């Protein structure tokens, strides 16, 4: 009797926490939609809605690797890059073949996720077998490599199909009416603008369903046991590489989905240091660290706030990057400094004690 009660209670707790997480997303969506319909949202905000979705998905995805799997990935933007370019290539070459934007975008998302997952597997298979911080080193390299590789790829399309080259656009040897899709460093231009806020929110919800269900599944517990004590996990017969690879691949695929949203939100896509480079990867890691490692909800909120912040500070002009950095440092200290954690605990504790007395 008592036992079943306890289990019930525990289930309820995770369920409740999950419902709150979904609830925040849905509530934010409804509020924003109402405001947009009422004409209360500026153009800047409207333009920021899709990027917010993109970075939220990236934060959730990276939190799966950093928080749940306990491995450090410093090249998450690289997976985003793979998803962005593969899906943009698909969308442009299928522009005539699949005229329906919805169906085309659906397949683009699948393709972006698939190729990012593939990249995740390729990176993961050798590296996840090792102990130590090797994943961080290899993903860091991966992010830089993929950016440079894409900068030398030329892909064109004419009547006889796709042409590939790594030299220049002329080496594609296309028929006269052929068009260059990926033009080396000049990237892809003319990707259809299919990303919308609604699709972004749906993708966030799907991401949440995948990640939260994974965490609370048998596999999820296995993954966390690997994180917490590798030797103990190994001793009870958990296949460490399998579970590590599983979490990392899912994480990469989700980053690919964010990349699809990214490439279908802007008509010009180039692989630069700015959007898919090291800085971007670190930025996403900052979302996760600030929001709380392993705390999915927290990383979502951090992603939203930190995406909005630089734009809200535009009024400060060139000082905004400085202010942004200061805010980051202050937030980091507030969240992680042991003294402040103590202080917060004492404060909350006092509150709780008072309530209990009352």
Neighbours of 226 (CB within 10 A): 25
Contact between 354 and other proteins (CB under 8 A)? no
Site string for other proteins, 15-34 (x = CB under 8 A): -xx--x--xx--xx--xx--
User: What backbone torsions phi and psi does residue 157 show, to the nearest 5 degrees?
Assistant: -135, 130
Contact between 170 and other proteins (CB under 8 A)? yes
Site string for other proteins, 110-149 (x = CB under 8 A): ----------------------------------x---x-
* Residues that contact other proteins, how many (by CB under 8 A): 63
Q: CA 261 to CA 105: how far, in whole Å?
A: 9
Contact between 156 and other proteins (CB under 8 A)? no
Torsion of CA 297, 277, 274, 50, to 10 degrees: -30
C-alpha torsion sign, points 297, 299, 304, 309: positive
User: What backbone torsions phi and psi does residue 189 show, to the nearest 5 degrees?
Assistant: -120, 155
**DSSP letter assigned to residue 160:** T
Contact region with other proteins (CB under 8 A), list: 91-99, 116-124, 224-232, 260-268: 260-268
Q: List, in sequence order, the alpha helices (H) in the chain.
A: 2-37, 43-63, 76-93, 101-127, 134-151, 197-215, 218-228, 230-235, 240-263, 273-276, 278-291, 296-312, 320-336, 338-357
Our CB check for other proteins shows the closer of 118 and 312 to be 312
Minimum distance of other proteins from residue 97's CB (angstroms): 22
Our CB check for other proteins shows the closer of 160 and 317 to be 317
Candidates 137, 147, 120; CA nearest to 72 is: 137
Of 186-215, binders to other proteins (CB under 8 A) are: 186-187, 189-190, 193
Torsion of CA 310, 276, 60, 53, to 10 degrees: 60
Minimum distance of other proteins from residue 256's CB (angstroms): 18
Of 263-322, binders to other proteins (CB under 8 A) are: 265-270, 272-275, 297, 301, 304-305, 308, 311-312, 314-315, 317-318, 321
**Which of 242, 346, 350, 352 contacts other proteins by CB under 8 A?**
352
Vertex 307, ends 306 and 308: CA angle to 5°? 90
Our CB check for other proteins shows the closer of 9 and 231 to be 9
Our CB check for other proteins shows the closer of 127 and 303 to be 303
Contact between 238 and other proteins (CB under 8 A)? no
Torsion of CA 206, 111, 298, 40, to 10 degrees: -80
Minimum distance of other proteins from residue 164's CB (angstroms): 16
Residue in this structure with the two tokens 């419902």, named with its chain if needed: 19
Minimum distance of other proteins from residue 174's CB (angstroms): 13
Contact region with other proteins (CB under 8 A), list: 59-67, 68-76, 166-174, 227-235: 166-174
Q: CA 268 to CA 320: how far, in whole Å?
A: 26
Contact between 45 and other proteins (CB under 8 A)? yes
Contact between 71 and other proteins (CB under 8 A)? no
Q: CA 131 to CA 55: how far, in whole Å?
A: 29
Candidates 341, 355, 301; CA nearest to 63 is: 301
**Interaction site with other proteins (CB under 8 A):** 13, 16-17, 20, 23-24, 27-28, 31-32, 35, 40-48, 51, 144, 148, 151-152, 168-170, 183-187, 189-190, 193, 262, 265-270, 272-275, 297, 301, 304-305, 308, 311-312, 314-315, 317-318, 321, 348, 352, 355-356
């Amino acid at each position: 009797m008592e036992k079943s009660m306890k289990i019930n209670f525990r289930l309820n707790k995770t369920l409740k926490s999950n419902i709150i997480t979904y609830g925040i997303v849905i509530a934010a969506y409804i509020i924003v939609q109402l405001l947009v319909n009422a004409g209360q949202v500026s153009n800047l905000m409207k333009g920021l809605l899709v990027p917010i979705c993109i970075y939220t998905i990236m934060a959730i995805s990276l939190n799966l690797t950093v928080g749940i799997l306990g491995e450090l990935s410093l090249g998450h933007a690289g997976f985003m890059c793979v998803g962005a370019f593969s899906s943009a290539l698909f969308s442009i070459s299928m522009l005539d073949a699949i005229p329906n934007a919805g169906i085309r975008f659906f397949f683009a998302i699948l393709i972006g996720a698939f190729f990012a997952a593939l990249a995740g597997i390729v990176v993961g298979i050798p590296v996840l077998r090792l102990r130590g911080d090797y994943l961080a080193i290899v993903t860091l390299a991966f992010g830089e490599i993929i950016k440079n590789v894409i900068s030398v790829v030329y892909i064109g399309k004419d009547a006889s199909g796709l042409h590939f080259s790594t030299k220049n656009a002329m080496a594609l040897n296309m028929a006269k009416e052929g068009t260059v899709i990926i033009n080396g460093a000049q990237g892809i231009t003319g990707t259809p603008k299919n990303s919308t806020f609604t699709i972004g929110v749906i993708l966030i919800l799907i991401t949440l369903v995948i990640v939260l269900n994974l965490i609370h599944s048998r596999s999820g517990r296995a993954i966390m046991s690997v994180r917490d004590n590798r030797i103990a996990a190994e001793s009870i017969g958990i296949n460490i590489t399998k579970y590590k690879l599983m979490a990392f691949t899912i994480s990469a695929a989700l980053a690919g989905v964010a990349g699809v949203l990214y490439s279908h939100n802007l008509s010009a896509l180039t692989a630069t240091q700015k959007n898919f480079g090291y800085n971007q990867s670190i930025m996403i890691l900052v979302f996760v660290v600030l929001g709380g490692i392993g705390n999915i909800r927290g990383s979502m909120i951090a992603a939203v706030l930190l995406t909005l912040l630089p734009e809200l500070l535009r009024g400060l002009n060139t000082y905004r990057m400085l202010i942004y950095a200061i805010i980051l440092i202050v937030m980091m200290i507030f969240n992680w400094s042991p003294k402040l954690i103590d202080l917060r605990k004492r404060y909350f504790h006092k509150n709780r004690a008072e309530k209990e007395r009352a």
